[in-house]
Amino acid sequence: MRGWVRSVVAGVLALGVAVLAGCGSAAEPASGGEGGGSGEQPAQVSKLEEIKRRGYLIVGVKADVPGFGYLNPETNMYEGYEIDLAKKIAEEIFKVPGQVKFEPVTAKTRIGLLQSGQIDMIIATVTVTEQRKQEVDFSPVYYTDGIQLLVKKDSGITGLKDLDGKTIGVAQGATTRARLEEKAKELGVTPKFAEFPDYPSILAALQAGRVDAFSVDGAILKGYQMQDPSTVILPEKYSEEPYAIATRQGDDDLRDLVAQVITRMQESGELQKLQEKWGLTGQ
């Protein structure tokens, strides 16, 4: 009997220690100002300085969203509107092109990676929300999208109102679910939700009949609709999703530089041109 008690106590203690250690290390960078996290550098080094010393910019991008951030399997290169934006910003910092490294992120991983300093910024279809503003800094908006539904053509579904009791596949950590729940309540329907770690899983779930609709921002859906011609994007939009570049709170010099670049590209019409280049203008 005593052995039983002892092993439980030991297990709980071990975990407790791990938790406390975790708390300690997480609290340190916050109290030490905006140090990059590595103890070697003096705490005063700004983010921009840190990036320049490193010699390249690390940007969290989507690898599975054609038109925005997509790792083209044929060339093994990242391409898309957001990739072009990242290249512009890197060029602004280093005055020469090509000093940028892309790190693939998902809706679930991106904020954590930014906060832990593993990436310098996120340009990965991040919707600006009040809640996220508490966690990260945002640049001016570079694209506005809306949540839409992708369904099978032969399903007969024409909008959210047809999805009462049916299942909608969404991405973990995305705002999609909360927005759709609001809209569904207004319409008086109660759909079920299934969350998946990435978009290809949701498309696979739709194809397998596991979910009746795949929902995320329209521009992201477009790429998947093209992959599977038996599906169709429904025209109704259920939200306004303003996309902006996220930087870590405290990295003020980097945030300001990013804001400058986006504002300038907006005014010169360069943003519009890039959107046309990637086919993102057809609403």
Instruction: Rule CB under 8 A: choose which of 46, 118, 129, 207 binds other proteins.
Output: 207
Check binding of 7 to other proteins (CB under 8 A).
yes
Size of the site for other proteins (CB under 8 A): 33
Query: Least distance from C-beta 15 to other proteins, angstroms?
Result: 6
Check binding of 196 to other proteins (CB under 8 A).
yes
Give the end-to-end CA distance of the chain in Å, rounded to a whole number: 69
Residue given tokens 């005593």 in the structure block: 2
DSSP 198-235: SHHHHHHHHHTTS-SEEEEEHHHHHHHHHH-TTEEE-S
Strand stretches in 45-201, DSSP E: 57-61, 64-65, 69-72, 77-79, 100-104, 121-122, 136-138, 143-145, 147-152, 167-171, 192-196
Nearer of residues 3 and 42 to other proteins, judged by Cβ: 3
Q: Which two tokens stand for residue 217?
A: 């921002």
Structural contact between residues 234 and 159, judged by C-beta atoms closer than 8 angstroms: yes
Check binding of 208 to other proteins (CB under 8 A).
yes
Check binding of 11 to other proteins (CB under 8 A).
yes
Nearer of residues 108 and 161 to other proteins, judged by Cβ: 108
Q: Closest Cα partner for 255 from 99, 97, 95, 47?
A: 47
Query: Least distance from C-beta 22 to other proteins, angstroms?
Result: 5
Site for other proteins in 21-60 (CB under 8 A): 22-23, 26-27, 31
- Cα 77 to chain centroid, rounded: 19
Nearer of residues 135 and 228 to other proteins, judged by Cβ: 135
Instruction: Rule CB under 8 A: choose which of 108, 152, 161, 237 binds other proteins.
Output: 108
Nearer of residues 1 and 96 to other proteins, judged by Cβ: 1
Residues that bind other proteins (CB under 8 A): 3-4, 7-8, 11-12, 15, 18-19, 22-23, 26-27, 31, 107-108, 111-112, 135, 169, 172-173, 194-197, 201, 204-205, 207-210
